[in-house]
Amino acid sequence: MPVDHFPSTHATWIDAQLTIAEDGDRAAAAGDPLAAARASNARDALRRHVMERYMDALGAYVSASGLRASGERDELVSGFFAGPLADPAFFVRWRASGMQLRRWLMNAMSFHCRGVRRDEARRRERTAAEPVEWLDERPDAAEANAAEAFDRAWALSIVNEAYARVQSELDGAGREDDVLRMHLVDGMPYDDIARALGTSRAECFNAARRVAARVRAAVQDLLREEGVPNSGLDAAVDELMRLVERG
């Protein structure tokens, strides 16, 4: 992640990349020979970040909605990353909108898929002897299911990323790492873990509870990166966990 001219620590990471890019554009226009590279690196880092975190969610959205008729799932997602997401103004418009990032991305994917289908319909209409059926722009019943599929996949990606961060911090760090692996990964009950580690069930339970608190804190960090204010973090985490449990 680029850190050149990193703005206030109160800014989210995404805001930081946008600020670096915008400052780089202005400095490049003023004659700074290295500024354009800073701006490009910041935008590339931001795109990679979103691609990694949202690829599964966007794919789930396309698969669950009527938009899947627009093309193959992977091609539509790849085209979205190469097209709308590559536009330097994409995230600037998002920041000005005040929308949640995941809602902005879902809406943008919907527009992208519909655009792909309209372009294909026009192409076929130019070459076909008979009229081609156009895309029905009216909302369909699949849209609500698609939004739910998107939200569940997004929630799982956040929880898995938080879990991976905590596991990396605990790796080789003693009993908490062992309990985390044996209970959450291997599925062992606390009584069996206690016997295996030569400790008590209560100690194992407390270790797992401490790990769960660290995972929740990591989830909060990830949501904070996406612009969720501190005042809304607890509610956002609760919503996320409900989405995971429903899945």
Q: What digits encode the pLDDT tens for the residues 152-188?
A: 999 989 988 888 888 887 765 566 767 877 876 677 8
Q: Pick 4 or 51 by higher pLDDT.
A: 51
pTM for this entry: 0.74
* Tens-digit pLDDT profile for residues 204-239: 888 888 888 888 999 998 888 777 888 889 999 999
Tokens of 12: 């989210």
For residue 4, is pLDDT > 90? no
Domain boundaries, the chain: 1-140, 143-247
CATH number corresponding to 143-247? 1.10.10
**Stretch (H or E) spanning 219:** helix 201-225
User: What is the DSSP secondary-structure string of 91-150?
Assistant: HHHHHHHT--HHHHHHHHHHHHHHHHHHHHHHHHHHH-SS--PPP--S--THHHHHHHHH
